[in-house]
């Protein structure tokens, strides 16, 4: 179990949150409601009575004591068990004579309840002090976990040495492990993005290469219907296209004899189809060069020949380069996944850390900064706050 407490100013605001949630539109939020030393179980009416009672003492600025008690998702607890725990905590804290509204929620996977307590005694008007409430709450929760056979989330509160040094060292080690888990997860995510990108570039490159191959094959077939020596005509056209693509296409359409002797006088009529095929060859080749550049992420790796770079690679060479990059990233990913398998599960470690950090008293928590890095202590603060947010339903701003 986890117990989190806070002090607030308004009974009305807290009662409305406990019964309606933040939006007021949350359905099936409340499982059951109970009260102690109040004539009603209605949250709104209870808040009015508690506010009037607190008015007996004009010096108290925060008369609301809010206590949230959360059970592990695996704990099969009923209402009777939950009320037993609530009453044990109230009795241990010396609040058994105070006005209390208990609201159990059913909006999460784990059973949990909120206790709205009036710090002002209904008869004496004296204000109950929260001093040292945390150790008392934790002691009761540990005893009730054992008595009710409930699962204990790994924590160190009850196993703390006199100096607390072992606990601090253990939490520091866990923080370092968690920090590495987060880092490995980030690296793995970036690696998976890189793999997906490399696979997309390889697919684009293969498609562009196939388009260029089909275009060249079509042009070769078209030239057979136009020239007596189609191979010579093809070489002449490609050479001209390398210098002035648009002029080469126009000449093949209008004056095909410039690229070789025509097969027949009527072959001129077939030159128009050959010119269209020639245009596709030029466009496909340009798209292929763009795909090569994209596959290399815009990097220009020298091939060793002056004036020649990766844009002059053959399709097989360009594809081999991308596959090499892909294999490199996949090897790194396998290493990261193996490391993740050896480390504790992130969510379990996060839960245990949040619990262990919350069990530290404020002075003990501050001492933790002496044995961890600044980044790790910042992480510890976030995890400690997370435990409070989970238990309080993120209503600490009330």
Q: Are residues 199 and 315 in the same domain?
A: yes
Q: Are residues 145 and 200 in the same domain?
A: no
* 2-31: average pLDDT: 84
Whether residue 156 is predicted with pLDDT greater than 50 in this model: the reply is no
What is the pLDDT at residue 350? Answer: 79
**Which residues constitute the domain of residue 34?**
2-152
* 85-97: average pLDDT: 96
What is the pLDDT at residue 244? Answer: 94
Domain-located, residue 226: yes
Domain-located, residue 380: no
Whether residue 304 is predicted with pLDDT greater than 60 in this model: the reply is no
Model confidence at 392, in pLDDT bands (50, 70, 90)? low
Q: Are residues 13 and 140 in the same domain?
A: yes
Whether residue 86 is predicted with pLDDT greater than 70 in this model: the reply is yes
CATH number at residue 21: 3.30.930.30
What is the pLDDT at residue 323? Answer: 83
Q: Are residues 245 and 130 in the same domain?
A: no
Domain-located, residue 366: no
> pLDDT for 201-255, tens place per residue?
888 888 988 999 999 999 999 999 999 999 999 999 999 999 999 999 999 999 9
Q: Are residues 17 and 132 in the same domain?
A: yes
Gap between the Cα atoms of 248 and 244, Å rounded: 6
Domain-located, residue 255: yes
Q: Are residues 62 and 144 in the same domain?
A: yes
Classify residue 135 as exposed, middle or buried by CB count within 10 Å of its CB (0-12, 13-18, 19+): exposed
Q: Are residues 126 and 257 in the same domain?
A: no
* 280-286: average pLDDT: 93
Domain-located, residue 282: yes
Q: Are residues 199 and 333 in the same domain?
A: yes
Q: Report residue 329 as tokens.
A: 């990233």
Query: Position of tokens 């990097």?
Result: 299
Domain boundary among 288, 310, 339: 339
Domain-located, residue 288: yes
> pLDDT for 319-377, tens place per residue?
787 888 888 888 988 888 888 777 777 776 777 787 778 777 778 888 888 888 888 88
Q: Confirm if 227 and 267 have CB atoms less than 8 A apart.
A: yes
Domain count, the chain: 2
Q: Are residues 78 and 206 in the same domain?
A: no
């Amino acid at each position: 179990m986890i117990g989190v407490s806070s002090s607030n100013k308004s009974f009305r605001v807290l009662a409305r949150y406990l019964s309606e949630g933040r939006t007021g539109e949350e359905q099936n939020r409340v499982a059951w409601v109970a009260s102690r030393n109040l004539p009603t179980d209605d949250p709104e009416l209870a808040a009015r009575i508690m506010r009037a009672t607190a008015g007996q003492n004009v010096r108290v600025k925060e008369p609301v004591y809010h206590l949230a008690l959360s059970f592990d998702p695996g704990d099969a607890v009923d209402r009777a068990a939950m009320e037993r725990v609530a009453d044990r905590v109230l009795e241990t804290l010396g609040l058994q004579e105070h006005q209390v509204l208990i609201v159990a929620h059913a909006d999460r996977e784990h059973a949990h309840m909120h206790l709205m307590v009036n710090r002002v005694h209904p008869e004496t008007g004296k204000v109950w002090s929260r001093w040292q409430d945390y150790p008392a709450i934790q002691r009761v929760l540990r005893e009730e976990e054992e008595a009710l056979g409930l699962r204990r989330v790994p924590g160190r509160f009850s196993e703390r040495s006199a100096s607390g040094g072992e606990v601090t060292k253990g939490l520091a080690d866990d923080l370092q492990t968690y920090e590495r888990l987060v880092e490995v997860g980030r690296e793995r995510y970036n690696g998976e993005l890189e793999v997906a990108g490399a696979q997309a570039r390889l697919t684009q490159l293969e498609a562009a290469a196939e388009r260029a191959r089909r275009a060249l094959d079509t042009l070769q077939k078209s030239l057979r219907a136009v020239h007596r020596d189609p191979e010579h005509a093809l070489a002449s056209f490609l050479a001209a296209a390398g210098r002035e693509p648009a002029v080469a296409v126009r000449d093949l359409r209008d004056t095909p004899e410039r690229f070789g002797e025509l097969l027949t006088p009527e072959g001129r009529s077939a030159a128009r189809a050959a010119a269209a095929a020639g245009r596709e060859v030029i466009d496909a080749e340009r798209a292929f060069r763009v795909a090569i550049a994209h596959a290399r992420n815009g990097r220009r790796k020298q091939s060793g020949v002056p004036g020649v770079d990766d844009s002059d690679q053959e399709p097989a060479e360009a594809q081999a380069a991308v596959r090499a990059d892909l294999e490199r990233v996949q090897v790194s990913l396998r290493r990261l996944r193996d490391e993740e398998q050896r480390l504790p599960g992130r969510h379990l470690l996060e839960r245990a850390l949040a619990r262990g950090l919350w069990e530290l008293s404020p002075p003990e928590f501050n001492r933790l900064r002496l044995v961890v890095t600044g980044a790790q202590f910042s992480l510890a603060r976030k995890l400690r706050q997370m435990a409070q947010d989970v238990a309080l339903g993120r209503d600490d701003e009330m």
